[in-house]
Amino acid sequence: MNRRIMAKWGSLLMVVTCLFAGCARQTESTTKKTKPTESTRPSVYVSVAESESSASSGNALPDGTNPDPAASSDGTTASEGGVLGESTKGEGAGGESAETSAPGGDYLANLLSLKQQMLDKKDYYNGLDNVAEDTWCFQRKKDHEPSGSYEYFNLKEYGGYYINDHVPEGDKVVYLTFDCGYPSNRTVNILDTLKKHNVKASFFVTKMYLEECSDYAIRMKEEGHMVCNHTVNHKDLTVMEVEDIISEIFDVAQYFYEKTGYEIDPYFRTPTGSYTKRVMQMIKDAGYTTLFWSLAYDDYDQNNQPAPGFIIDHFQKFHHNGAVILMHNDSSSNERDLDEVLTYLEGEGYRFGLLDEIA
């Protein structure tokens, strides 16, 4: 069906459907973080020195917290309850194989139906553990060993991954991911560089980004990239009401479909890497796999970009097989150095995979 026709029908359905607003609560919380502007996004990495010190001391995180993957304040696991039960890649928001989707059914109608099912489960979600011990934190290792994890519960039980830990023997692969939280015309040069190298990547987009850069998102899909969910407003989901979390998840997929005619790919990244059992269970029930990362550097502050030579040096030190690489679309340093990075990784024998290889 022509994408323009689908967009018109999507808009009509939106008018007659009661939707909740996708906005965050503006209340105080011990886990609340400031609005993630360019200067307040948290550091995305842990140094090798910190990693070695933490590993030897038993204090996993630099701030002294001790994320025990087995710890749980309420004893619940991802298998207890849930709207769709065991969610897998391609279900719910990202595909037509969700349990709520009739064969040949309308994507948008199924999306809104699933959203309502989750709203009807508000009390269930309110009862899930929502303790946020920390944002996502990984452990860098030397000699190109795969990065370790400081997860404070088992991410896989909640449909979460940060690395491909099952790369076939003899294969060398990395996964480029770009967070598109904020509109930026630097995306054009990034796409041009990817096209030059015939490399596919995964872009995590917000509604804020799509409102100004939907043409870029259409180009991403046309050129074989994945376009994935990064929420509506790029705010911390762990401090929101259940209804607002649901809107942050579903309203991006709906807007993307109405604006472009494409279905969003079934992968999700939380803003700033914040996560709890409740948030990840809701993401899983909406049909998504949550993707964190195993290789990153501070590229998000527009006023403090990596100096020339830093990024390529970082990749030379820390590249590893199965790496999920986090980069930001609005980074002038990424725009400048991406070509050199791709050339280097190609020379090291890596291919560039898409996220459906991970989960």
Domains of the chain: 3-22+55-68+83-357 (3.20.20.370)
pLDDT at residue 191 is higher than 90: yes
pLDDT at residue 301 is higher than 50: yes
First to last CA, the chain: 29
Residue 254: C-alpha distances to residues 107, 108, 229 (Å):
9, 7, 11
Q: What pLDDT score does 18 carry? A: 32
- Look up residue 103 and give its DSSP letter: T
Apex 190 CA angle, 40 and 300, nearest 5: 10
Q: What pLDDT score does 145 carry? A: 97
pLDDT at residue 184 is higher than 90: yes
Cβ contact 157:176 at 8 Å: no
328 is catalytic: yes
Q: Is 255 or 54 the better-scoring residue by pLDDT? A: 255
Catalytic residue among 179, 244, 298, 330: 179
Residue 187, C-beta contacts closer than 8 angstroms, at least 6 positions apart: 180, 213, 216, 329
Q: What pLDDT score does 8 carry? A: 40
- Look up residue 62 and give its DSSP letter: T
Catalytic residue among 225, 319, 328, 330: 328
Q: Is 9 or 300 the better-scoring residue by pLDDT? A: 300
pLDDT tier at 281, thresholds 50, 70, 90? very high
pLDDT tier at 177, thresholds 50, 70, 90? very high
Q: Kindly state the percentage of the chain with pLDDT values over 70.
A: 71
- DSSP assignment of 183-235: --THHHHHHHHHHHHT---EEEE-HHHHHHHHHHHHHHHHTT-EEEE--SS--
Q: What pLDDT score does 170 carry? A: 97
320 is catalytic: no
pTM: 0.74
Q: What pLDDT score does 203 carry? A: 98
Q: What pLDDT score does 55 carry? A: 33
Q: What pLDDT score does 60 carry? A: 32
Residue 202: C-alpha distances to residues 129, 132, 211, 348 (Å):
30, 26, 19, 21
pLDDT at residue 91 is higher than 80: no
pLDDT at residue 303 is higher than 70: yes
To the nearest 10 degrees (0 to 180), the angle between helices 242-260 and 107-120 is 180
Q: Which of 244, 279, 210 is nearest to 119 (CA)?
A: 244
pLDDT tier at 252, thresholds 50, 70, 90? very high
Least confident of 13-27, 115-129, 237-251: 13-27
pLDDT digits (tens, 9 = 90+) for 55-75: 333 333 322 223 333 333 333
Token pair, residue 237, equals 């989901």
